[in-house]
Amino acid sequence: MKIAIILLSLIFSSMSFAKVGITLGGNNPDFKSTNGATDEKFDSKLGYDVGLIFDFALSGSISIGAEFGYSTFMADVKSPTDDGDLTFSYLLIRPLVFIDLIGDFGIYFGGIYGKSQTAETKFSNRTVDYNSLTNYDVKKRLAANIGIHYMIHMSDFELRPRFMYEKGIDELVTSTTGWKLEADVMMLVLDVLF
């Protein structure tokens, strides 16, 4: 992934119609599980997203982009037997298409592919690390997203606040007992483009 980021930086930075920047954001996941005998409740906690974004203009109103970053999803877990803190984190690639509709206001859509870094629940007396247990299968993060954006032009850079809904395509983790966990995510992001 590092080589891809370096190559894209070199390619995009040499083009006058390309922009490179950083992206910072917060997210609020909506976790859902199917567990058969017991029901778990999830109280979402604010997660974060950080990364690099590359933006390549195809025309005056359409651009394509790619975001390379790190994302965390968190929640308090309440189950009939124990309470804990759930954390998932990913290294991710998020390809995006931006379409300006009215002036600098527009929509965007895309997808996400994420590789799990952390997948665990910390209880008061133990930690369940889903990545290290053989009866759990931690999935890659696959999702589709859609959102709105607004471009703010400054003298030396541009700010692009974005609001996004991300719909999970696959579960985050499954177990051999039939337990499954999935998440859809609402995000507020700020891109700083140079």
In a domain, 9, yes or no: no
DSSP secondary structure letter of residue 4: H
Q: Measured between alpha carbons, how far is 24 from 156 in angstroms, rounded to an integer?
A: 19
| Residue 158 belongs to domain with CATH number | 2.40.160
In a domain, 155, yes or no: yes
Question: What pLDDT was estimated at residue 37?
Answer: 44
In a domain, 5, yes or no: no
136-139: Cβ within 8 A, 24+ apart: 136/173, 136/174, 136/175, 136/176, 137/173, 137/174, 137/175, 138/172, 138/173, 139/170, 139/171, 139/172, 139/173, 139/174
DSSP string, 126-148: -EEETTT-TTEEEPPEEEEEEEE
Using an 8 Å Cβ cutoff, are 19 and 193 in contact?
A: yes
Average pLDDT over residues 70-82: 90
Question: What pLDDT was estimated at residue 85?
Answer: 95
In a domain, 8, yes or no: no
* Statement: residue 95 has pLDDT above 90: yes
In a domain, 2, yes or no: no
In a domain, 4, yes or no: no
Query: pTM (2 decimals)?
Result: 0.86
Average pLDDT over residues 58-65: 90
In a domain, 54, yes or no: yes
Structural domain span for residue 27: 23-193
Closest by CA to 114, choosing from 56, 63, 174, 73, is: 73
Give how many domains the chain has, as a whole number: 1
Could you read off the pLDDT of 128-178 as tens digits, one per residue? Answer: 999 998 889 999 999 999 999 999 999 999 999 999 999 999 999 998 888
In a domain, 160, yes or no: yes
Beta bridge partners of 188: 26, 163
Using an 8 Å Cβ cutoff, are 81 and 37 in contact?
A: no
